[in-house]
């Protein structure tokens, strides 16, 4: 426990780039129940390469806070199963990634879904619940 506490006291911020993608299992969960646990589990996550996780002192299963100019959200971090060169983090399209995506488009109508600048740090809080992400939505 002492060690864990130490991790939080330090809890440094790191600058990362995130790109979004689609995952068939998450889409399946969406079609079935977009308010369900499976959809949340497969959506509220960020995947990074092993080397990037190492550099940031994070491990698979940690909860992290992602903060951009547009918002902030707590998700789970996962280690990529692929052989990634690192430098880019991945999130599926969902309300959790949308929480940190800018609405700035230069008037062109297309947000930067594929290139999000954010800060990442270890978080004590629970994964942000869906209701908190959606203005005006009743649970």
Task: Pick the closer one to other proteins by CB: 11 or 62.
Answer: 62
31 torsion bin: left (phi>0), alpha (psi -120 to 50), beta (else)? alpha
* Contacts with other proteins, 58-97, as mask; x by CB under 8 A: ------------xx----------xxxx--x-x--xxx--
Query: Residue for token digits 């918002």?
Result: 71
Task: Pick the closer one to other proteins by CB: 56 or 99.
Answer: 99
CA–CA dist 49, 78 (Å, integer): 9
Binder among 53, 91, 98, 120 for other proteins (CB under 8 A)? 98
CA 82 to each of CA 44, 65, 90: distance values in angstroms, whole numbers, following the listed order: 19, 23, 12
85 secondary structure, DSSP code? -
Residues that bind other proteins (CB under 8 A): 17, 19, 21-25, 27-28, 31-36, 70-71, 82-85, 88, 90, 93-95, 98-103, 105, 107-115, 130, 133-138
């Amino acid at each position: 426990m002492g060690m864990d506490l130490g991790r939080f006291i330090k809890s440094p911020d790191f600058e990362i780039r995130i790109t979004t993608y689609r995952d068939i299992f998450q889409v399946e969960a969406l079609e079935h129940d977009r308010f369900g646990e499976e959809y949340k589990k497969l959506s509220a996550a960020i995947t990074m390469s092993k080397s990037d996780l190492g550099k940031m002192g994070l491990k698979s299963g940690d909860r992290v806070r992602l903060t951009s100019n547009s918002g902030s959200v707590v998700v789970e971090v996962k280690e990529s199963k692929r052989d990634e060169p690192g430098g880019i983090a991945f999130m599926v399209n969902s309300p959790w990634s949308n929480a940190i995506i800018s609405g700035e488009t230069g008037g062109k109508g297309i947000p930067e879904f594929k290139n999000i600048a954010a800060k990442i740090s270890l978080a004590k809080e629970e994964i942000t619940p869906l209701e908190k992400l959606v203005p005006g939505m009743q649970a």
